[in-house]
């Protein structure tokens, strides 16, 4: 299990490292692309081309395809954005595409696709540009680089709108909006709102357009961008104007003009705004006020060099003069409008011709791209087939491995089951032997008990028979003697039955050996007092060596039973005028209770058997007291239930020392 966890962790760490390396590569490429854009916009085209041509030749000389691909792209971007030599840019991008596909360099391929997109956008072939942009977007799914994702989504949104896929365009702009909100980038958020509003306006969904322009307006105000704020207000006012909500349109025009009046270099924005106000007054049939605003717009439009804005101003001025009856000026501005329109149309036609020429040149090279694409698809197909074959082999090997593993597992399980069965048989045999021993022990135990019960009962029968049949012939002294013997027999019988009852309760689990704190010294003294009369009958002295309290933790009732039995046993086997000493000593992790006498002692072979239930050890005391041996068995049982142990040290004729321990 630990090996599996280590392998999984290793795989996880390797995957993370690979992803980090991939993201580092794509980040490096993105930084290169942004830096290139800045250099192209700020540097001279000829100087850039000269430097890059030298780099390209050096890369070819040293056979560095990776450098050749990158420099080819750099030159292509320069031709697209600076020299407008799209045919040359196409050749360079095809070379880069060939290298990137052969080396399977995905990060480089993304920017090659972006280059093709920019190329086809220049000739307004948005459908082909869209294909390359979507390819770049699909490759980017394997990487985590939000700025590049944003760049591609923004261009996709624009391209989808140009190809008439309004739904897809809206979806892209909504994705940009969500990203900007999540990352808290208000400038991008506001632009996304404005772009969506522009689309909704062109789709005549004016309510949606207004809501999005207002959201953009709030954001522009928050980031303090007054020019964009004024443009937004102008757009909102124009929608109100289209809806014939003239008062609301006028309010927004006034606010926008108030914002722009103190800002420099906003001629285009002011001209567009005055044109909008002029249009507003024309709609109200107030040609004089319209003309006043359009006269303000005209020089601003001229200064902005925005020909389309100038053309719009000429058209509105012609309408205003015509409404005032000034047909001369109306005709003059109408002619200016037409002249500018012809000029712009000619420029547009010239650009269209150039774009058509460029598109024709590009399309001639399109077959090369198609061939590369076909090669790529063929290679992917071959790789897929190879992958399928490898997967098939892996599956077959895995199946064989699984089958072998199952066979091995079944073999191991069979061996384990056999071992368990053997162990179970041994256990059953051991249990049978144990049961046989227990049965034998039980039979022996009942034999001991029945034998030991006979003695006191026979004595009682004999003494009671004498008292019943010979009372008249017995003297008072004889009757007293019989009464004493009868009392001894009854006490022996009581002791036997009490020990038997205690042992039986311990065997059936009716005694809960719950540990409690108690004073061992006090327990010894209590048992000394309890058996004082029995000791006095034989003139035996009992001494407790301990004077200080010793707090122990065990089951008090069972421990006092042990002390009482051992002390009673010592009294029984000690001659008259003998001595018994009791005490407690402290060892490492336990207390040891010792009860020592100077009685008759016992042989070693007897000492080894007195705690066993399967043998008979009953011996008469020094005053002919009878015993069963059950008391010592009960002592062993109780001591062990309390987690201790019991032992005896004895020498025949010199006395006995019983000891038992209690864990602290």
Residues 515-540: pLDDT tens digits? 889 999 999 999 888 888 788 888 99
The whole-number pLDDT of residue 117 equals 92
In a domain? residue 348: no
Give the Å distances, CA to CA, from 127 to 132, 348, 562.
9, 21, 104
Which of 68-82, 493-507, 509-523, 582-596 is predicted least confidently?
493-507
The whole-number pLDDT of residue 15 equals 34
131-140 average pLDDT score: 91
Rg of the chain (C-alpha set): 56
**Alpha-carbon gap, residue 167 to 161, rounded angstroms:** 8
In the three-class reduction of DSSP (H, G, I as helix; E, B as strand; rest coil), residue 551 is classed as strand
In a domain? residue 352: no
In a domain? residue 353: no
194 pLDDT tier (thresholds 50, 70, 90)? very high
Q: Which domain holds residue 117?
A: 1-144
The whole-number pLDDT of residue 349 equals 66
| Same domain assignment for residues 569 and 646 | yes
Q: Total structural domains in the chain?
A: 5
Contact indicator for 156, 134 with CB cutoff of 8 Å: yes
Between 631 and 162, whose confidence is greater? 162
**Alpha-carbon gap, residue 36 to 42, rounded angstroms:** 10
340 pLDDT tier (thresholds 50, 70, 90)? confident
Looking at residue 66, which CATH number applies to its domain?
Answer: 1.25.40
The per-residue DSSP string of 231-300 comes to HHHHHHHHHHHHTT-HHHHHHHHHHHHHHHTT-SS-HHHHHHHHHHHHHHHHHTT-HHHHHHHHHHHHHH
Q: Looking at the predicted structure, is the pLDDT value of residue 615 above 70?
A: no
Number of neighbouring beta carbons within 10 Å of residue 464: 13
The whole-number pLDDT of residue 458 equals 59
Q: What is the mean pLDDT of the chain?
A: 82
**Alpha-carbon gap, residue 605 to 612, rounded angstroms:** 12
In the three-class reduction of DSSP (H, G, I as helix; E, B as strand; rest coil), residue 573 is classed as coil
Among residues 316, 324, 325, 282, the alpha carbon closest in space to that of 296 is found at: 316
Looking at residue 173, which CATH number applies to its domain?
Answer: 1.25.40.10
| Same domain assignment for residues 386 and 468 | yes
Give the Å distances, CA to CA, from 49 to 83, 114, 294, 657.
10, 20, 46, 113
**Alpha-carbon gap, residue 462 to 502, rounded angstroms:** 29
In a domain? residue 535: yes
* Distance spanning both ends of the chain, measured CA to CA: 42
In a domain? residue 482: yes
The whole-number pLDDT of residue 509 equals 55
Tell me phi and psi for residue 541, to 5 degrees.
Answer: -90, 140
| Same domain assignment for residues 393 and 502 | yes
Tell me phi and psi for residue 123, to 5 degrees.
Answer: -100, 15
200-211 average pLDDT score: 94
**Alpha-carbon gap, residue 662 to 641, rounded angstroms:** 10
| Partners of 649 in the β-ladder | 657
Give the Å distances, CA to CA, from 537 to 534, 582, 655.
5, 19, 19
Q: Looking at the predicted structure, is the pLDDT value of residue 354 above 90?
A: no
Q: Looking at the predicted structure, is the pLDDT value of residue 484 above 80?
A: no
| Same domain assignment for residues 70 and 127 | yes
Residues 30-88: pLDDT tens digits? 999 888 888 888 888 788 888 888 888 998 889 898 899 999 999 989 988 888 888 88
409-428 average pLDDT score: 84
| Same domain assignment for residues 153 and 137 | no
- Stated length of the chain: 664
The whole-number pLDDT of residue 488 equals 62
Q: Looking at the predicted structure, is the pLDDT value of residue 451 above 70?
A: no
Contact indicator for 253, 277 with CB cutoff of 8 Å: yes
| Same domain assignment for residues 53 and 129 | yes
In a domain? residue 20: yes
154-158 average pLDDT score: 93
Between 108 and 424, whose confidence is greater? 108
Among residues 334, 274, 350, 268, the alpha carbon closest in space to that of 305 is found at: 268
Among residues 145, 158, 223, the alpha carbon closest in space to that of 184 is found at: 223
Among residues 216, 40, 9, 28, the alpha carbon closest in space to that of 105 is found at: 28
User: Given 76, 111, 144, which residue is the final one in a domain?
Assistant: 144
Torsion angle, alpha carbons of 313, 318, 319, 323, to 10? 140
In a domain? residue 361: no
Contact indicator for 593, 550 with CB cutoff of 8 Å: no
Between 536 and 348, whose confidence is greater? 536
| Same domain assignment for residues 109 and 173 | no
The whole-number pLDDT of residue 18 equals 39
Q: Looking at the predicted structure, is the pLDDT value of residue 10 above 50?
A: no
Looking at residue 627, which CATH number applies to its domain?
Answer: 3.30.565.10
Contact indicator for 240, 249 with CB cutoff of 8 Å: yes
**Alpha-carbon gap, residue 295 to 320, rounded angstroms:** 10
12-24 average pLDDT score: 42
Among residues 593, 625, 589, 592, the alpha carbon closest in space to that of 525 is found at: 593
- The answer to pTM > 0.85 is no
The whole-number pLDDT of residue 538 equals 87
281-304 average pLDDT score: 92
Q: Looking at the predicted structure, is the pLDDT value of residue 593 above 90?
A: yes
The whole-number pLDDT of residue 8 equals 38
Contacts of 506 (CB under 8 A, 6+ apart): 558, 634, 637, 638, 641
Between 373 and 405, whose confidence is greater? 405
Which of 46-50, 266-270, 506-510 is predicted least confidently?
506-510
| Same domain assignment for residues 109 and 154 | no
Looking at residue 467, which CATH number applies to its domain?
Answer: 1.10.287.130
The whole-number pLDDT of residue 228 equals 93
Residues 452-467: pLDDT tens digits? 555 566 556 766 776 6
Q: Looking at the predicted structure, is the pLDDT value of residue 213 above 90?
A: yes
321-327 average pLDDT score: 92
| Partners of 544 in the β-ladder | 582
| Same domain assignment for residues 238 and 295 | no
Q: Looking at the predicted structure, is the pLDDT value of residue 6 above 60?
A: no
In a domain? residue 414: yes
3 pLDDT tier (thresholds 50, 70, 90)? very low
Among residues 534, 570, 527, 543, the alpha carbon closest in space to that of 656 is found at: 570
| Same domain assignment for residues 152 and 243 | yes
The whole-number pLDDT of residue 275 equals 93
**Alpha-carbon gap, residue 656 to 247, rounded angstroms:** 123
User: Given 144, 172, 202, which residue is the final one in a domain?
Assistant: 144
User: Given 236, 263, 290, which residue is the final one in a domain?
Assistant: 263
**Alpha-carbon gap, residue 109 to 128, rounded angstroms:** 17
Residues 375-407: pLDDT tens digits? 666 766 776 777 788 888 888 888 888 988 888
Contact indicator for 617, 555 with CB cutoff of 8 Å: no
| Same domain assignment for residues 198 and 296 | no
Among residues 455, 420, 444, the alpha carbon closest in space to that of 612 is found at: 444
In the three-class reduction of DSSP (H, G, I as helix; E, B as strand; rest coil), residue 52 is classed as helix
Residues 106-121: pLDDT tens digits? 899 999 999 989 988 8
Contacts of 315 (CB under 8 A, 6+ apart): 333, 337
Torsion angle, alpha carbons of 632, 634, 638, 644, to 10? 30
Tell me phi and psi for residue 660, to 5 degrees.
Answer: -145, 155
| Same domain assignment for residues 138 and 70 | yes
Q: Calculate what percentage of the chain has a pLDDT beyond 90.
A: 37
**Alpha-carbon gap, residue 398 to 253, rounded angstroms:** 75
The per-residue DSSP string of 293-327 comes to HHHHHHHHHHHHT-HHHHHHHHHHHHHHHHHHT-H
Q: How far is CA 499 from the centre of its chain?
A: 64
224 token code pair: 């303090």
């Amino acid at each position: 299990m630990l090996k599996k966890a280590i392998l999984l962790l290793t795989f996880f760490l390797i995957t993370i490292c690979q992803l980090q390396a991939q993201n580092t590569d794509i980040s490096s490429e993105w930084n290169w692309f942004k830096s290139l854009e800045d250099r192209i916009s700020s540097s001279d085209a000829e100087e850039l081309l000269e430097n890059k041509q030298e780099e390209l030749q050096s890369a070819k000389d040293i056979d560095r395809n990776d450098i050749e691909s990158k420099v080819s792209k750099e030159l292509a971007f320069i031709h697209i954005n600076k020299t407008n030599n799209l045919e040359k840019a196409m050749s360079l991008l095809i070379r880069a595409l060939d290298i990137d596909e052969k080396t399977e360099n995905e990060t480089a391929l993304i920017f090659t696709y972006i280059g093709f997109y920019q190329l086809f956008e220049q000739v307004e072939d948005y459908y082909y540009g869209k294909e390359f942009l979507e390819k770049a977007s699909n490759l980017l799914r394997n990487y985590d680089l939000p700025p590049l994702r944003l760049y591609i989504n923004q261009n996709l949104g624009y391209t989808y709108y140009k190809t008439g896929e309004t739904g897809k365009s809206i979806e892209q702009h909504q994705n940009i909006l969500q990203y900007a909100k999540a990352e808290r980038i208000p400038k991008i958020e506001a632009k996304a709102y404005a772009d969506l509003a522009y689309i909704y306006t062109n789709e005549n969904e004016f309510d949606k357009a207004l809501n999005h322009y207002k959201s953009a307006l709030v954001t522009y105000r928050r980031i303090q961008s007054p020019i964009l704020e004024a443009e937004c207000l102008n757009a909102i006012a124009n929608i109100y104007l289209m809806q014939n909500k003239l008062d609301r349109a006028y309010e927004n025009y006034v606010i926008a003009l108030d914002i722009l009046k103190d800002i420099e270099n906003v001629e285009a924005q002011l001209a567009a705004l005055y044109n909008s106000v002029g249009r507003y007054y024309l709609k109200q049939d107030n040609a004089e006020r319209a003309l006043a605003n359009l006269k303000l717009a005209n020089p601003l439009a001229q200064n902005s060099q925005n020909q389309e804005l100038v053309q719009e101003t000429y058209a509105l001025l012609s309408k205003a003069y015509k409404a005032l009856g000034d047909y001369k000026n109306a005709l003059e501005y109408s002619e200016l409008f037409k002249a500018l329109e012809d000029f712009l149309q000619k420029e547009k036609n010239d650009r269209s011709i150039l774009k058509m020429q460029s598109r024709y040149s590009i399309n001639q090279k399109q077959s090369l791209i198609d061939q590369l694409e076909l090669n790529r698809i063929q290679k992917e197909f071959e790789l897929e087939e190879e992958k399928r074959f490898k997967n098939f082999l892996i599956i077959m090997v895995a199946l064989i491995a699984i089958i072998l593993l199952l066979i091995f597992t079944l073999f191991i399980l069979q061996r384990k089951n056999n071992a368990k069965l053997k162990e179970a048989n041994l256990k059953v045999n051991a249990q049978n032997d144990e049961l046989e021993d227990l049965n034998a022990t039980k039979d022996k135990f009942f034999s001991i008990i029945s034998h030991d019960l006979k003695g006191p009962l026979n004595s009682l029968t004999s003494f009671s028979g004498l008292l019943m049949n010979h009372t008249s012939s017995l003297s008072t002294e004889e009757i007293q003697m019989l009464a004493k013997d009868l009392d001894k027999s009854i006490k022996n019988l009581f002791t036997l039955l009490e020990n038997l009852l205690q042992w039986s309760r311990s065997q059936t689990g009716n005694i809960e050996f719950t540990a409690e704190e108690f004073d061992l010294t006090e327990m010894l003294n209590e048992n000394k007092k309890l058996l004082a009369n029995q000791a006095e009958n034989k003139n035996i002295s009992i001494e407790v060596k301990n004077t200080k309290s010793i707090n122990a933790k065990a089951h008090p009732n069972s421990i006092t039973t042990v002390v009482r039995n051992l002390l009673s046993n010592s009294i029984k086997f000690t001659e008259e005028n003998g001595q018994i000493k009791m005490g407690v000593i402290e060892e490492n992790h336990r207390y040891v209770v010792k009860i020592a006498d100077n009685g008759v002692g016992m042989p070693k072979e007897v000492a080894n058997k007195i705690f066993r239930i399967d043998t008979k050890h009953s011996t008469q005391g020094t005053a002919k007291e009878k015993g069963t041996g059950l008391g010592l068995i009960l002592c062993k049982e109780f001591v062990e239930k309390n987690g201790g142990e019991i032992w005896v040290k004895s020498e025949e004729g010199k006395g006995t020392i019983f000891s038992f321990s209690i864990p602290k």
